[in-house]
Structure 1
């Protein structure tokens, strides 16, 4: 399959559409994708099978694109090819940010930025194309479009191909979550049987210099523990009498940041350690009163999550942080008494760690429907203000605590959106086993025909929309989802729909480097020439084996 030039042409057309995550501009990319696919002859004749659809309830009114090709020989067997159309911001490009979406021009000047040795070598090799979204993941979208175009022209197999391009993956995966009911609707309308789903994300190097090509049989999950720190406010003149929530927050960060005790392991894979994504106090305006509250949330990747076990570990480390903070204050007050020749005595403070869901239930029990209506009205205001889901979660925690009767210094633990379930091929299922065999044959084909080795990896660690292609443990998923702040109010997880889908899925794309950096780039020789041919073999083999 020689579609290299077509993929490159489509890639450049898509990269120039900025489509930054979390903005209305994502629709610019969705519209361009729809426009390109509408030029394919099959969709000129079958306009009903190409749709641009709303992400239900999205304050940004974003769209996703669905294109279904059905072979002239009728079949239920269907392959899904999907990827996300949004990209991260370009502030990191500095004075070249206007060129971030113009790869050809960017590569003429990118040396003006500080490139490491590997990036410089790749630039000078001529085998890489740089620019925002090239690797993450407009190459994957371009690949999917051009596979769809080529195979619709051939129409020499018995089966269907569904292409999906979704927004929001770089934020909360709103697009893929919205696409789940759509997949079920198409399944019912056309009597489809989903035999495999491919997320066309580029593979990610595990370390500098790593250029191994990979196909991933699973994807890591993600939870975001959210901490609300409640201190004891005081005037700065009497600083020794209070408890600053920023101290609680910083002490927890010292203990939790990059802590390997929170890494998850499975099938020889180990997740990266947790990292803080945001830490802030909740004081709106300047004054010489110390803040009453602060908040922080952390990224924790999962492979085998037990929410109960994780909660135990989080509570333990929160108690440790609280006690450490109190000890720091007490020791410093003792030192201050010596220096100032004072005799300040602090009120004894006991560590207190609470579970948000329990506090919410207590307040709801005490205040009744009036409180629930109050929160729902607040959420609507925050959504109209276009606050992100994480800020809304913090605000829900804050407003709930303010209605809580048993006030006092504490650390409250909850979970902020989004939640990504971890997912892996289930080799006890026939469909998954068949897909694994076909992928193995594709890897052998790559070695024999192109001299290119591809290795199987169990988990894609970069987070991706494969998380929303089905679920095995429905009870476990319900347990975790029920603990997410704002669930079914401002954040939706289609739990039942996911349990009805459960499509055998893998992550397979080109070779990319430096995602979310100004040196982001995608390899040309492997991605544009080898990968389409492996896809060709895999797709034909799936349809042959599932006749």
Structure 2
């Protein structure tokens, strides 16, 4: 491993084994297991035994699972502070099938994997001995192990210049509740301990095409989840032209959206992936001999510059066009059917109204006033309890509130409603900062000087981490649009889901992702590259911290 601190290498290796061995499935009480491990491990360090006030577990407010964010401050000289960010939840191991009981024990898992059929690349990596397989090895227990080991090392340095704040949050793989809740914690710690946050270093794994060409990211992709609700007109299947099947219209809208590169953002010579639907279904509760009354679909869209308002406007245009084409096709088919019957029946004429949820809500208020408001708020309270008891998810809760609002509208014609489902991630890039220090601006060049000198290797610099991350909540430059466009069109906004934009604006910290090489994230062949884990990634992070903290 070259000139690597042997104690650091050993600490990272042992920590990874311990961390992976602790199940911390996202959205479950299991996350608390790894929180307790980290908190107890940090408490045993001499530095925190002597300064317990610099270590804590910040409990997430109103979290039914009682999860917390672990924070640890290595307080040195001056105000300059580097934040080491990680998340300690992982996706569950259901995808491992019969091997799920071994997913958290890399040594046994790798032995078992040799006995089953694997994709060739995974089999080659398994046989090379250069990779560690297991759930969370790459995403992101490796990053935690590196950060904890580095914090331990710096806790022993006398007259340490600068400050290091480690923050480990839950729920990143779900709704990022841990990061969102920790925004106020970061601002409180900043004021209490006179800290100037210079940079956030995240350690999510990165992908690469070859061994000697790593990647660092100076930002993170944004994400929003539009929901398309289509109300049709129910009818018996024996009289289908008397009804309007919402599936036909929703299918047309989905066809226009699915994998449409027009939705791919381009910024700073990078392009986000096109959108894809994650849910598409009718809303019939039971089978009967009728077409469904409504259908719903929602999809993820990744952004580099698009705002909620721009996405809403595009979806409105698509829905209008799709409605016109669907109505035309229904009319043509109806006419052909009438001609085949030799009937004098008239062709049905349909009118489909396209509205946002905000417009629908305003319409319901105008139609039903206080009666609507009381019923809507009562439904929200019922939904809160059902979500806490895991009876429904946020997507179903959103659908319920759309239907509740529709129930107070006099107009019963077919309609398309466009809204948003949590979570929402802001797109952030250091390139978009209005005032970026020269040291941060030149950080990628500094990293390459270091890697070329140490290993004769170059690291590519990208402006956006495309895997979605908690880095999205450290900076924003479009608050007005988000508040005025996203909030009113997200039924759960400020009721069950909330982002404290004011706290983000107070932080406004540049970010960088420096993580190990990982493959097959969220798959049963998930793995992390040993050399990155034990040598390259910790060495680069050390260099970046010392470069920034030593700078006058």
Residues 134-187 of structure 1 deviation map (CA, whole Å, 9 limit, x = unaligned): 111111111111111111112442111111111111111111000101000111
Describe the superposition over 1:231-250 as per-residue Cα deviations: whole angstroms up to 9, x where unpaired: 11112222332122222222
Check conservation: 1:426, 1:432, Cα contact below 8 A: no
Which position in structure 2 is the counterpart of 1:538? Answer: 544
Q: CA deviation at 1:337?
A: 4.8
Deviations 1:41-85 (A, max 9, x none): 2122222222112212223332211111112xx321111001111
Query: Corresponding residue for 2:168?
Result: 165
Identify which of 80, 85, 89 aligns with 1:82.
85
Change (3 A) 1:184 1:119: same
Normalised by the length of structure 1, the TM-score is: 0.94
1:104 aligned onto 2:107: yes
Pairwise mapping of residues 450-461 of structure 1 onto structure 2 (< 5 A)?
Answer: 450-461=455-466
Contact 1:51/1:65, CA 8 A, preserved across alignment: yes
Per the TM alignment, residue 210 of structure 1 is displaced from its structure 2 partner at its CA by: 8.0
Determine the C-alpha separation between the residues in 1 that align with 2:526 and 2:257.
Answer: 29
List per-residue Cα deviations over 1:340-381 (Å, max 9, x = no partner): 666654421123211110111222244334433433332232
**Contact 1:438–1:541 (CA<8 Å) still a contact in 2?**
no
SS of alignment partner, residue 284 of structure 1: coil
Matches within 5 A, 1:468-507: 468-482=473-487, 483-507=489-513
Residues 118, 209 of structure 1: 8 Å contact kept? no
Q: Structure 1 residue 178 and structure 2 residue 181: aligned?
A: yes
Evaluate the alpha carbon distance shift between residue 243 and residue 67 of structure 1 in structure 2; reply closer, same or farther with a 3 A threshold.
Answer: same
2:248 equivalent in structure 1 = 247
* Matched positions, count: 542
The answer for unaligned runs of 5 or more in structure 1 is none
1:399 aligned to 2:404?
A: yes
Q: Secondary structure at the match of 1:296?
A: strand
Distance 1:423 1:170 in 2: 18
Q: CA deviation at 1:4?
A: 2.1
How far is the alpha carbon of 1:124 from its aligned partner?
1.1
Provide closer, same or farther for how the CA distance between residues 119 and 190 of structure 1 changes in structure 2, counting only shifts above 3 A. Answer: same
Equivalent residue number for residue 438 of structure 2: 433
State the distance in 2 between where 1:413 and 1:131 align: 40
Q: Displacement of 1:496 after TM fit?
A: 0.8
Q: 1:33 aligns with which of 30, 38, 41?
A: 38
Is contact 1:195–1:431 with CA below 8 Å preserved after alignment?
Answer: no
Alignment of 1:148 with 2:151, yes or no, is yes
Once residues 434 and 115 of structure 2 are traced to their aligned partners in structure 1, the CA distance between those partners, rounded to angstroms, is 53
Secondary structure at 1:76 match in 2? strand
Consecutive unaligned residues of structure 2, counting only runs of 5 or more, are none
CA contact (8 A) 1:477 1:495 kept: no
Within 2, Cα distance between the matches of 1:210 and 1:368?
63
The DSSP-based 3-state class of the residue aligned with 1:198 is strand
- Cα deviations by residue, 1:183-233 (Å, 9 ceiling, x for unpaired): 00111111111011111111134xx66873111011111111111110111
Alpha carbons of 1:327 and 1:88: their partners in 2 closer, same or farther (altered >3 Å)?
A: farther
Q: Offset at 1:439?
A: 4.1
Q: Aligned partners of 1:104 and 1:393: how far apart in 2? A: 43
Indicate whether 1:462 and 2:460 are aligned.
no
Q: C-alpha deviations, 1:462-488, integer Å up to 9, x for none?
A: 110110012233323323442333111
